[in-house]
Structure 1
């Protein structure tokens, strides 16, 4: 039996990088402790299985020390105002996958004669928040009154995504890495990111987050596209980020979804806070944390009272049971963006792309799935 020489420290690093304990992997790799201590070496087959289990390129395991793995886009995530230095494999693989899809779509669109989209990079950091939010709403055709009449946050988010898609934005919503349901994404690590591009602007939304929170994330990441800047974000509505770009995007997102003039007109200052939070969240189809922030912006809830209400609401939301998410978020079209899926299906049916490439880009392996997707997108097979 041929064994391969790898550093035990690299195996420990790969395991810790994936957030796995030795005990959790021992049932599958019974001699893992011996591998890590350098007492015995794994076989190549065992090493390949280990690399797959901890989601690391097998070539990394032959290095003498861990490689640097910076997030390939500007990272504005923070905890207690301190930047997060290390991204999980789930986050990194999601960014890489979206970059690959964006590159394919950009090339395909340019071959079809696509022109740069005028809204990408059309705003500058520090531009007036109210006018900036209004210009984004106008470009999207976002009707807040119509949105308020939609029955659920899921309906409102679907309509919001469709408007961004129609404008040319690839909006991908998923709570897992690719199509791997055993690799869930953690909203506490990131809520979304934007990949700015004049032809193929892309927004990814962490579908494991609540639907109301996803509304704000989409608005926040769209603001990044209007700045023409890629970014990985927390997109926490109720907080004021330390970075100027995140503060501006948060303000624009809040104004886009909940214009302060409209909010002030419908906000009942005499109402019970709990009831008013829920009423206004339903009215604007945003989270109660966004409503709290707008109360703060309007001057009706400030200082210690705001932060007490904010902390109480965070605690209440954490205790609520999670929802099923709805079938919309389980569909392939939502995960990869309907605009992207239509382009891949059309390219394949026209013979410009192979089925093998299509399956890789879309994240499945069966022809029946391809046929069902093409029918669902209205693309003739």
Structure 2
């Protein structure tokens, strides 16, 4: 990996050599306030920080404990030990009771496992960065917002399922490191690649371990239909987050307009339809 230093405190862009094409990596070292990031990155990160902050406050009200795995490894540790920790943690937490049936691809299974383990997984239809990132970065593939209570991973909907799985594994490694970052498709530049190389090595073993876990437990059925309709909208914002938001909207803390903005919708009818897709009474 190589890095380009950005102007501003503790902010850098780093580029990595991954398993497939080069994936540059942006590390804003969150929790740097989003207002202090360059405007293009702020536009990229801010919508997901808003959701994360809401969910963090929700968990604090519930009295939930921080996840012990966030920041539990360092780049000086052995990648295979970090990978084993990721697979064991996801496997031990099981899959959410609301999604017991098999999925049509392993990445969908792993998303279920991550959400059941307390890691919010969202998706975004990112294309070339343009107005939401530096022009030389190219297409955004993934985002991690590390947090001890409410870590968030965002995947690009434009990637194929196999590539999404690799991206998810790499960003899970970031959660275990307790670091935030953005991965994108562009040619590498120069700099220190220790974090990127570590995440790449961990991701290889995580994918292999999760494939074994999925096969052993028969969690993948390729003939199953994909998630569509309002359920797909809920999945884009994380089913765990969406369920919590819908159940806690309309009181003194969260208005319907705030909930609409966080979900990217504009009407109560759509809000109710998303809730019904999650088997909620709305």
Q: Fold-level match, TM-score > 0.5?
A: yes
1:212 pairs, out of 162, 165, 179, with 162
Distance 1:349 1:375 in 2: 17
Instruction: Give the structure 2 partner of residue 379 of structure 1.
Output: 280
2:206 pairs, out of 247, 252, 256, with 256
Distance 1:89 1:330 in 2: 32
Structure ranking higher on relative contact order (CA contacts 8 Å, 6+ apart)? 2
Are residue 359 (structure 1) and residue 260 (structure 2) matched?
Answer: yes
Contact 1:117 1:199 in 2 (8 A): yes
Structure 2: tracts of 5 or more residues without a match: 1-5, 27-36, 93-101, 213-219, 221-225
Task: Kindly state the Cα deviation for residue 188 of structure 1 after the two structures are TM-superposed.
Answer: 4.0
More strand per residue: 1 or 2?
Answer: 2
Aligned pair count?
Answer: 236
Task: Kindly state the Cα deviation for residue 151 of structure 1 after the two structures are TM-superposed.
Answer: 7.9
Deviation string, structure 1 residues 71-96 (Cα, Å, up to 9, x no partner): 99653346989988xx9977642311
TM-score normalised by L of structure 1: 0.53
Task: Kindly state the Cα deviation for residue 359 of structure 1 after the two structures are TM-superposed.
Answer: 0.5
Contact 1:172 1:204 in 2 (8 A): yes
Instruction: Give the structure 1 partner of residue 33 of structure 2.
Output: none
Instruction: Give the structure 2 partner of residue 76 of structure 1.
Output: 14
Are residue 139 (structure 1) and residue 40 (structure 2) matched?
Answer: no
Instruction: Give the structure 2 partner of residue 341 of structure 1.
Output: 242
Instruction: Report the secondary structure of 2:139's partner residue.
Output: coil
Contact 2:114 2:121 in 1 (8 A): yes
Say which is worse superposed, 364-373 or 341-350, in terms of deviation.
341-350
Instruction: Give the structure 1 partner of residue 124 of structure 2.
Output: 174
Contact 2:16 2:25 in 1 (8 A): yes
Distance 1:358 1:70, change over 3 A: farther
Deviation string, structure 1 residues 3-49 (Cα, Å, up to 9, x no partner): xxxxxxxxxxxxxxxxxxxxxxxxxxxxxxxxxxxxxxxxxxxxxxx
Distance 1:221 1:329 in 2: 26
Deviation string, structure 1 residues 303-347 (Cα, Å, up to 9, x no partner): xxxxxxxxxxxxxxxxxxxxxx87389821121111111111011
Distance 2:46 2:10 in 1: 8
Deviation string, structure 1 residues 327-376 (Cα, Å, up to 9, x no partner): 38982112111111111101115554111111011110111111111111
Distance 1:168 1:196 in 2: 12
More helix per residue: 1 or 2?
Answer: 1
Task: Kindly state the Cα deviation for residue 378 of structure 1 after the two structures are TM-superposed.
Answer: 2.4
Higher-Rg structure is: 1
Are residue 105 (structure 1) and residue 55 (structure 2) matched?
Answer: yes
Are residue 118 (structure 1) and residue 68 (structure 2) matched?
Answer: yes
Distance 1:71 1:342, change over 3 A: farther
Instruction: Give the structure 2 partner of residue 31 of structure 1.
Output: none
Instruction: Report the secondary structure of 1:75's partner residue.
Output: strand
Contact 1:217 1:235 in 2 (8 A): no
1:160 pairs, out of 110, 113, 119, with 110
Instruction: Report the secondary structure of 1:360's partner residue.
Output: helix
Q: 1:323-342 alignment to 2 at 5 Å?
A: 327=228, 331-342=232-243
Distance 2:44 2:176 in 1: 22
Task: Kindly state the Cα deviation for residue 128 of structure 1 after the two structures are TM-superposed.
Answer: 1.2
Distance 2:9 2:161 in 1: 26
Question: Please, what is the CA RMSD of the aligned residues?
Answer: 4.1
Distance 1:335 1:119, change over 3 A: same
Say which is worse superposed, 75-84 or 110-119, in terms of deviation.
75-84
Task: Kindly state the Cα deviation for residue 135 of structure 1 after the two structures are TM-superposed.
Answer: 1.1
